Amino acid sequence: MTTLLITDSVFLDHLTPAGHPERPERMRAIGRALDDVAFANLRRESAPPAPIEAAMLAHPEDYVRLIEGASPETGFRFLDNDTSMSPGSLLAALSAIGSAQRAVDAVIGREVANAFVACRPPGHHAERATAMGFCLFNTIAIAARHAQVAHGLKRIAILDWDVHHGNGTQDIFWENRDVLFISSHEMPLYPGSGAEHETGTHGMIHNVPLMAGTDGAMFRAIYEAKVFPRLEAHQPELILISAGFDAHRRDPLANLRLEAEDFAWVTSRVMEIAARTCGGRIVSLLEGGYDLEGLASSVAAHVRELMRG
């Protein structure tokens, strides 16, 4: 079996103001990296847009309608200081959701071994009813709920290695009993949440704060001690990854010191756990990563490992 890659030019149509780090060039950099012959065996699909109702798997209808109504005809509409919509943003966000759902369907249906979705806008900062941190809808949370609702899965794990805390995913799953949410993130850093004592109503939130300056060796030791045992103990039926690459040493928004090879390592360790617990079923969604060179090399390393699955 192969690895599914879903990406699409629709993700270029979510425009952000000049100088914004979360920009269409991120998609182009990833596209160039994955054009290499090393990725010839990827199964490639374009992004199917989800109906707006799909966002209601993780958000209240009032909030979904508010985002739908905020879509501007020209220019930008700001939802907070750094989160805005352009005319193409709504379709991009819905296509990210549709891609995540399709990736879940393909992995659970055994069409492919695993999947990576290269999409934007990112999603993990979007809370139940708050757009923030460049995010409109929480795509990974919607993917998890989709796996439960459409496929009857129960125990799902979401691993978020974006350098920022996945506050939105934590918010959405705070009171749940079946979805384990593990987030490692630099702390203190935006958005400020993600302390170890934030564990959720039923202990299903597992935060692993990292100090500024954490390098690959420290990251690996912390993952071996604090992340992988908890992930495996959950015995997930599906592993979802909020794959941000802003913990790369070149990233302008954070201060960790990972290299592309560290993302290859963590991918391969998660694949080992997935092989033991859920037949290797992994769906990975792009979150952050704002240095184009660091992002492209890290995504390439991540996908190269997934292709060994």
Positions marked active-site: 125
* Nearest to Zn ion of 45, 246 (CB atom): 246
Under the binding rule (CB under 5 A), the answer on residue 291 touching Zn ion is no
* Rounded Cα–Cα distance for residues 210 and 218 (Å): 9
* Nearest to Zn ion of 161, 223 (CB atom): 161
Under the binding rule (CB under 5 A), the answer on residue 168 touching Zn ion is no
Helices (H), ranges, the chain: 25-34, 61-70, 89-108, 139-151, 167-173, 216-222, 228-233, 260-278, 292-306
Under the binding rule (CB under 5 A), the answer on residue 26 touching Zn ion is no
Min CB(255)–Zn ion separation in Å: 12
Are the CB atoms for 48 and 102 separated by under 8 Å?
yes
* Rounded Cα–Cα distance for residues 235 and 151 (Å): 17
Q: Tell me, rounded to whole angstroms, the distance of Cα 89 from its chain centroid.
A: 17
Q: Which two tokens stand for residue 147?
A: 């796996």
Q: Which of the residues 225 through 254 are near Zn ion (CB under 5 A)? A: 244, 246
* Nearest to Zn ion of 26, 164 (CB atom): 164
- The residue range among 76-84, 135-143, 225-233, 282-290 that interacts with Zn ion, by the rule CB under 5 A, is 282-290
Number of residues engaging Zn ion in binding (CB under 5 A): 5
- End-to-end CA gap in the chain: 8
The residues near 195 (Cβ < 8 Å, ≥ 6 apart) are: 187, 207, 209
Exactly one of 164, 257, 281, 302 binds Zn ion (CB under 5 A); that residue is 164
* Nearest to Zn ion of 162, 305 (CB atom): 162
Exactly one of 8, 22, 162, 171 binds Zn ion (CB under 5 A); that residue is 162
Are the CB atoms for 50 and 95 separated by under 8 Å?
yes
Residues at the contact surface with Zn ion, assessed by CB under 5 A: 162, 164, 244, 246, 288
